Structures are given as C-alpha cells and as structure tokens.
Amino acid sequence: MQQTTLKALADRFGLTLRGDPDHRVGAPATLAAAGPENVSFLANPAYAVHLAECRAGAVIIGEGLAERWSGNALISDNPYASWAKIAAHLSPEPTAEPGTHPAAVVADDASVDPSASIGPQASIGARARIGRNVTVGPGCVIADDAVIGDDSRLVAHVYIGPGCRLGKRVLVHPGVVIGADGFGLAMEAGHWIKVPQLGAVVIGDDCEIGANTTIDRGAIEDTELAEDVRLDNQVQIAHNVRIGAHTAIAGCVGIAGSTHIGRYCMIAGACGIGGHLTICDKVIVTAMSTVLDSITEPGEYGSGIPARPHARWKRILVRLGQLDDWVRRLRRLERNQS
C-alpha cells in the first residue's frame, strides 16, 4: 500500500482539492471505518449521514454534497469512478516476474513473449501465442492455436480452448472456461448425436471475465465479446452469442445460443435469456427476469417477482390460481350486460 499527497491525487485524476494539499493518505476505507491516513468516498446521498462522524483524511465527494463535509475533500463529477481509479492507484496489483516457471509445459512451437510470466503447472499448447506482459497464472491451460493479447492476465486455473483469441488487457479470474464445446445436439432414431462445434471464442480488448464463468465456442462461426464487456462470476454464455461493447452482465446469468446483445446493456443477476434473440443497445434487464422475446427498444425490462412475507405470498398464489375463473366470470358479466 502506497501513500501520496492529496495534491498529487487531485493533479493526477483531475479533481478539485479543498483542504490541505500536503496531507498524505494511503489505504482506501469506508466512511465509517476511515481514519486520518485513509481516503474514502461518498457517491450515494443515503450514506451522507456518516459524514458527521467520519474521520477520513479525505473524502471523494460530489459538488452537491461537499458542503456537508468540513474536512479535506477531492471534489469529483463522478465520485464512484474517481474512487475506483484512486483505490487502484493506492493498491496496485502485484507485478508478475517475467519468465516461465520450471513446472510449466510450453510447446516447442508456441510463441511466448519474453516479458510474459508463465506460472507453475501452466500448459501452453502448440502454435499458441502469448503477448507482451501477459500473466498466465498457476494451472492455466492454453490450448493449441490460442492467442492471448498484450497485458492480459489469467489469474489461475483458466482454460482457453483451441483457436480462441483474447484481446489486450483482458482480465480472467480463476476457474473460467473459454472455448469448451457448445451444447449442440441432433436427435436421430431416439438417440442424441453430437454436433461438432467448429467455431472459437473471440474476446475484445479490456474485457473482464468473472470466476467460474463459461463461454462456449461457436458451432460454426465464433462466439464474440466486443471490447470492454464485463462478466460477473458464474455466467453462462452459449455458442454463437454476441455481446456488444461496454455491456455488463451480473452473476448467474444464462444466455442461450445465437442470441445477440447490444452495446451498453446491463443484465442483472440470475436472469435467463432465451436463444436466437436480439437485445438492442442500452437495455437494462432487472434481476431474475426471463427474456424469451427480442427487445427492440432501449429501456428497462423485468419479470422477476420480489420476495414477500411467506403468509402473504401463499395468499397471492391462491389468488393467482383463481385468476382464470375470475376472468371467465368477468367475461360472462360483460356479455350479459351487452
């Protein structure tokens, strides 16, 4: 953890400084836990009540709330984004040492840049290409003909299938499987026949893939993620899915095959999205929703049912069971009155 002055942070990240420019801060902390050596932030006005007892060395805060804080302030148009940048600056990721661990296995015809770091028990397949400053962590498997772009990081136990291609600065968390076979089956005479999955997976620059997420290879064409796509943990992306740039998908979402999702979409946790659909740009899907039809207009969509007290929920279920009978009775009344 490194320390720096508030002036240095303000200059580096283009913020307005109010207070002591020479005050030094290091570890980021919450408003409630921060002390004089910490920097904290306030993005949600609901947490402004904590300012009264906050002891932070500085708070990253918006102009509209800054008057409620009497201490050192770093004033930002987007406090949460500024917090993310400053926290990363003060808590940098450890740099991996270049070189190949003696316990790694690298094919003779693989291309590994000298600046890359290949960890223990990693396996690099034939004709694979590993770019500059790439980190391939312990236990990772890079299959034949795969490509890992410059400055990408595979944390540990990641599988990259044959012919799959990752762009630059891609972060892949532990347990991810990219390029396993898609779920392609044909029925004949009462038995399933496996359909060969001949495509690959192509991932753009600056993407992040959460732990234990799976992205299936395409059946014929490639499964594709454009630049700056962010996937949470335990997401399932089926074969031939295409996801547009800057889209974020939360944990436990499942997307069936050949669905296309646009740019700047946000898919909340535990959603299920059917196959062969199109979701246009700038769509928000709320948690636990099921999408079975294409979405052609930007906006917010949802079908998840919020939790209710159990006794109340049982009454709702009884009424739902009666709904069809009520509709029939209403139609009879309407016919009798007409």
Same domain, 139 and 210: yes
Euclidean distance between CA atoms 203 and 336, whole angstroms: 62
pLDDT tens across 15-37, in order?
Answer: 999 999 999 999 899 999 999 99
Question: Do 292 and 253 share a structural domain?
Answer: yes
Tell me what pLDDT residue 3 has. Answer: 87
| Residues 26, 119 share a domain | no
pLDDT for the residue 273: 98
Q: Which amino acid is at 120?
A: P
* Statement to judge: residues 245 and 155 lie in one domain: yes
Q: Which domain holds residue 224?
A: 99-301
Whether residues 138 and 243 share a domain: the answer is yes
* Each residue's pLDDT tens digit, 210-262: 999 999 999 999 999 999 999 999 999 999 999 999 999 999 999 999 999 99
User: Which residues, 6+ apart, have CB-to-CB distance to 224 below 8 Å?
Assistant: 201, 202, 203, 204, 241, 242, 243
Measuring CA to CA, which residue among 20, 82, 74, 29 is closest to residue 56? Answer: 29
Are 231 and 255 part of one and the same domain? yes
Task: Give the CATH number of the domain where residue 294 resides.
Answer: 2.160.10.10
How many other C-beta atoms can be found within 10 angstroms of the C-beta atom of residue 289? 20
Structure tokens at 256: 């069936």
CB neighbour class for 182 (10 Å; exposed up to 12, middle 13-18, buried from 19): buried
d(CA 336, CA 147): 72
39: exposed, middle or buried (C-beta count within 10 Å: 0-12, 13-18, 19+)? Answer: buried
Residue 296 is predicted with a pLDDT of 98
Same domain, 236 and 189: yes
65: CATH: 3.40.1390.10
Q: How many CB atoms lie within 10 A of CB 249?
A: 26
User: What are the catalytic residues?
Assistant: 239
Q: How many domains would you assign to the chain?
A: 3
Residue type at position 50: H
Element (H, E) at 278: strand 278-279
Note whether 104 and 203 are same-domain residues. Answer: yes
Is residue 251 located within the same domain as residue 157? Answer: yes
Residues 164 and 274 in one domain: yes
Which two tokens mark 320? 């739902």
Which of 167, 134, 163 shows the shortest CA–CA distance to 146? Answer: 163
- pLDDT the model gives residue 21: 97
- What is the residue-level pLDDT of the chain in tens, covering all 338 positions? 678 999 999 999 999 999 999 999 998 999 999 999 999 999 999 999 999 999 999 999 999 999 999 999 999 999 999 999 999 999 988 889 999 999 999 999 999 999 999 999 999 999 999 999 999 999 999 999 999 999 999 999 999 999 999 999 999 999 999 999 999 999 999 999 999 999 999 999 999 999 999 999 999 999 999 999 999 999 999 999 999 999 999 999 999 999 999 999 999 999 999 999 999 999 999 999 999 999 999 999 999 988 999 999 999 999 999 999 999 999 999 888 87
Task: Say yes or no: 68 and 104 in one domain.
Answer: no
| Per-residue pLDDT, 1 | 64
Question: 222 and 296: one domain?
Answer: yes
* Span between the terminal Cα atoms of the chain, in Å: 78
